[in-house]
Amino acid sequence: MTTPSPSDRVEIDVEVNGRRRTVAVDARETLADHLRNDQKLTGIKLGCEHGVCGACTILMDGAAVRSCLTLAAQGDGRSIRTVEDLSDGALSPLQEAFKRHHALQCGFCTAGFLMSATELLEANPSPTKEEVIEALSGNLCRCTGYQTIVEAVLDAAGQIGNKNG
């Protein structure tokens, strides 16, 4: 097996926000760059580009991953969700809770927090405060502190739980 050069392109079959597509990607292109530049999904933010800040968090097969550390080619055969998938014309209950609790200021980190919280709430619709804090521990925010973000996720859990119960 030869190591691909940076100019090599590979074809992948990937589902992005519910839409399956076959695309050619550079072998060494990150998933974040592919989604932002080729798919025009700019809700993904590139903060540190080292996987530390969480601004580039997406869901891949339901799990939160740092798209800045993931090669686009690793998306082959996978289902990817970005923050753009949370809304269908109206804000999702989680987005509404962020709005209600003023859980954002500059907004740069918000998409990453929303995706990490989405992973948590899909796996555990009634998390404890400690579980929310743990789920969000891979996301950094310079503006808000974290209390309003945690409150928003707990509020959304209550809203989602009421709709399911």
- Cα 51 to Cα 70: distance, rounded to the nearest angstrom: 9
Q: Which residues pair with 57 in a beta bridge?
A: 66
pLDDT band with cut points at 50, 70 and 90 for residue 145:
confident
Q: Is 137 helix (H, G, I), strand (E, B) or coil?
A: coil
What are the CA-CA distances from residue 142 to residues 44, 104, 117, 134 (Å)? 17, 10, 18, 18
Residue 145 in contact with residue 104, Cβ under 8 Å?
no
Q: Which residue has the tokens 């969000």?
A: 136
Query: Residue 137 corresponds to which tokens in the numbers above?
Result: 């521990």
pLDDT of 164 higher than 50: no
Which one, of 43, 115, 83, 57, lies nearest residue 123 by Cα?
A: 115
State how beta strands 19-26 and 9-16 pair: antiparallel
Q: Which residues pair with 63 in a beta bridge?
A: 60
Q: How many CA atoms lie within 13 A of 113 on its CB side?
A: 26
pLDDT of 98 higher than 80: yes
CATH of 93-164, one of 1.10.287.110, 1.10.150.120, 2.40.40.20, 3.30.360.10: 1.10.150.120
In this predicted structure, what is the pLDDT of residue 94? 97
In this predicted structure, what is the pLDDT of residue 165? 44
| Dihedral in degrees, nearest 10, Cα atoms 58, 62, 63, 64 | 20
In this predicted structure, what is the pLDDT of residue 159? 74
Which one, of 119, 116, 102, 108, lies nearest residue 141 by Cα?
A: 108
E strands in the chain: 9-16, 19-26, 57-60, 63-66, 79-81
The segment(s) of the chain belonging to CATH 1.10.150.120 are 93-164
Q: Which helix (H) or strand (E) holds 93?
A: helix 93-100
CATH of 10-85, one of 3.40.50.2300, 3.10.20.30, 3.30.460.10, 3.40.50.720: 3.10.20.30
In this predicted structure, what is the pLDDT of residue 156? 97
